[in-house]
Structure 1
Amino acid sequence: MGLYLVTQILPFHLPKPAAAILLAAALCACGHDTRTHIAIGAPAAPRPIPMPSPAYSVVIPVPAPTPRPIRAPEALVSNISMLTRNFNGRVGIAVRSIDQGWTVDSNGDIRLPQQSVSKLWVAMTVLDYRDSGRLRLEDPVVLTKDDFTLFHQPVAALIKGDGYHTTIGELLHRALTMSDNTCNDRLLRYVGGPAAVRDFIRRKGLGDIRFGPGEKLLQSATAGLEWKPEFAFGNAFTRARARLPQTARIQAFERYVADPPDGAAPEAIAGALAKLKRGELLSKDSTDLLIGTMESSKTGKQRMHGAVPAGWSFGHKTGTGQDLGSRTAGYNDVGLLMAPDGHSYAIAVMIGDTPKSIPERQALMQGVVMAVVASNNGGQSLASAGRSTAPER
């Protein structure tokens, strides 16, 4: 039995002494007493058994060390906190470093009214359709008086008897640079309505960002009214709102501010803008087009834009809600701030409800930009921020 085992395990030829030793080991393993067998004819010092080298090697992977997250500058954290703390109103601020990944926020997780900031998500959905071949910016569109919405719609002056003949690209440009509500709503219908925009937000993982029912329904509900087509002409909407009892207006206003159907968290908006800048949402061509259009915006010159120093680039989108007395339901500015040294930041400053004056709101927004610029410059203070107290909407 022992000889059989040795033969099966070592089929190659071994010297007799070595075979004897292995045979003894095999017999021992089988329960035999091998002492006599070892003593008879066994050499005093058996030679070592040469064994073939293994034909394989084992590689144990060593994981790379996890990089330590870069901490946000302490001075910026302190400044953003101070700006929020000293402001009388419901305000949220978020700053995201696109290069280093850190975020500084104060009330960055609370959901605040977006108002026209939501035009960004319509524009992204349009460009996403373009990237997938479902539309072209050159596609023709005709605007008629049936397309009128509410409030700011400068394109209405161009709509005559046979309508205004334009393109998807021009509607996109007007919606973003002039915050034209009619152009934005026409784009929204072109891509399939609010459900298409909500689907884009969900697919791209943009986080806590809601998209409302469209300008007409959103503004009517905020005022405490039900939409009627005649509200789109002249000042019919304003007159109907003025006829409401004050208690009804206050209740509708409070409902909207407490739970806005177009609400979004500043931190989520800053994160979405960072994704846009990194090219994670759209093709390179569409990304460049959108950011370039944001940089040519004509709205909110004294909001964040008023503190952008020479040599820096800034592309943004503003949003302004309805007033009730001295209060405003949504006064916002969000955008991308790019430094001459290549560093870039996504910033969202959202004022959900405040009695503060417009110059004071602008000063808050400019203060955020000043803090970011100073942090990027190693904590140095700015000689001038270009701050203005001229009111604007």
Structure 2
Amino acid sequence: MTRLRRRYLPRRRVLVFGVLVVAAAVAAGMVSTDRATRQAATAKLTATRLSIFQDKAPEAPSALQSRLDVLAAGYGEDVGIAVTDVASGWTAGVGQHRLYPQQSVSKLWVAIALMRAVDEGRIDLNAWVTMDDADRSVFFQPVVAEYRQGRYVTPVSDLLRRALVESDNAANDRLMRELGGPEGVRAALEDMGLTDVKVGAYERDLQAQTAGLSWRHEYGFGRNFQNAREALPMAVREAAADAYVSDPLDGASPAAITAALAALSRGALLSEESTLRITSLMTAARTGPRRLKGGLPPGWSIAHKTGTGQDFQGASLGINDVGLLTAPDGRTYAVAVMLPRTRHPVTARLAFMQSVSGAVVEQWMRDTGTTVAD
């Protein structure tokens, strides 16, 4: 957070000038009124972008911090947890400042970068794009089933929905292409002050590198990727997996993720319309119904994004769930749970994530004086 303040606070002095330049350009006929309006609006957003990052956020509740410590110790493996109160800014957590593999959590940053471009008038969600075999990715890519004669024509908005709701890898990779690739996404995130969350690479390149491969076009068909992976010497795969977990190309810390989610929730990153579109799609997510969501009682809601990495030697690399948990009274908490390399069975992983969301519910009950009977 300190780095974010250093980078952006000086820019506030020139924001008014930027807005005046846009106004002058409109008067001179240099840009359209609509585009100038969008630019002025995003300049205003930039001026308030870091309002979520208070100079001195209050300390996290000790009861919640103690509970998270106990849960993490009980799990018995390396875990990352962060819980941020969106309204007050406090953050509790375990390993919250370490970098962990995100896997498909990174699709969220691609979506935010895309909606930033929409706010600025650089991308039209209703624009049509054509996907073909060059857009194939790896693992889960249901959009490929829509191909007819090797092509699929669809609006950008459809790809956004597929990426966030279904976690479609090919849809996500194509959105990244529309943004100028990983470098374009990274530049957009940096412009918003999100310097501590990374996309790293196209999904297909990330998965290939994690397995010890370099992406090849034919890996996007059938089981070609899995067959190539299985043909590698075990030492190559072990080295690649260890390198990925220790220094993930798509790494982010739980605290950086919850800070970004809190900023999104407060409208500090995107326009109101774009914020609503992102959070609505996150609410409709079909993945991970028994992760964080499974620990919430009736009356609570969640807008979230999961991440699920490859299995190797009895372990799964990058099992995550991050999201915005909203209580019945509207109080919202940004939560991230990240398991970089877990050997526990799926039931134990789910129970752990649910226990974290349960701990958030318990803290809300303490804060509001709510009982189970209420």
Partner of 1:252: 240
Between the aligned partners of 1:360 and 1:351, the Cα distance in structure 2 is: 12
TM-score (norm 2): 0.82
Give the C-alpha shift of residue 354 in structure 1: 1.4
Aligned residue runs from structure 1 range 270-285, under 5 A: 270-285=258-273
Match of 2:313 among 306, 325, 338: 325
SS of structure 1 residue aligned to 2:348: helix
Aligned residue runs from structure 1 range 55-134, under 5 A: 70-134=58-122
1:179 aligns with 2:156: no
- Compare relative contact order (CA 8 Å, sep 6+) and give the higher one, 1 or 2: 2
**Most deviating of 299-308 and 198-207:** 198-207
Partner of 1:13: none
Between the aligned partners of 2:141 and 2:164, the Cα distance in structure 1 is: 12
- Rg larger in 1 or in 2? 1
Give the C-alpha shift of residue 264 in structure 1: 0.5
Does the Cα contact within 8 Å between 1:88 and 1:355 map onto a contact in 2?
no
1:190 aligns with 2:205: no
Higher helix proportion: 2
Between the aligned partners of 2:231 and 2:370, the Cα distance in structure 1 is: 51
Partner of 1:366: 354
Provide Cα deviations, 1:239-279, integer angstroms capped at 9, x if missing partner: 11111111111111101111011000000000000000000
After superposing on structure 2, the runs of 4+ consecutive aligned residues of structure 1 that deviate more than 6 Å are 379-384
Between the aligned partners of 2:266 and 2:217, the Cα distance in structure 1 is: 42
Distance 1:68 1:167, change over 3 A: closer
SS of structure 2 residue aligned to 1:101: coil
Between the aligned partners of 1:241 and 1:69, the Cα distance in structure 2 is: 46
Partner of 1:29: none
Match of 1:199 among 187, 200, 208: 187
Between the aligned partners of 1:319 and 1:307, the Cα distance in structure 2 is: 18
Provide Cα deviations, 1:325-381, integer angstroms capped at 9, x if missing partner: 211110000000011112100001011111111111111110010000011011789
Between the aligned partners of 1:145 and 1:360, the Cα distance in structure 2 is: 39
Partner of 1:219: 207
Q: Which runs of 5+ in 1 are unaligned?
A: 1-65, 385-393
1:142 aligns with 2:142: no
Partner of 2:39: none
Q: Which runs of 5+ in 2 are unaligned?
A: 1-53
Give the C-alpha shift of residue 74 in structure 1: 1.7
Equivalent residue pairs, number: 319
Does the Cα contact within 8 Å between 2:365 and 2:371 map onto a contact in 1?
no
Between the aligned partners of 1:69 and 1:195, the Cα distance in structure 2 is: 32
Match of 1:341 among 329, 343, 346: 329
Between the aligned partners of 1:77 and 1:236, the Cα distance in structure 2 is: 46
Letter in 1 for 2:297: P
CA RMSD of aligned residues (A): 1.8
Give the C-alpha shift of residue 200 in structure 1: 1.9
Provide Cα deviations, 1:50-92, integer angstroms capped at 9, x if missing partner: xxxxxxxxxxxxxxxx998543222111111111111132210
Give the C-alpha shift of residue 154 in structure 1: 0.9
Partner of 1:19: none
Give the C-alpha shift of residue 147 in structure 1: 0.9
TM-score (norm 1): 0.78
Between the aligned partners of 2:149 and 2:77, the Cα distance in structure 1 is: 46
Provide Cα deviations, 1:77-130, integer angstroms capped at 9, x if missing partner: 111111111113221000000011111011001100000000001001110010
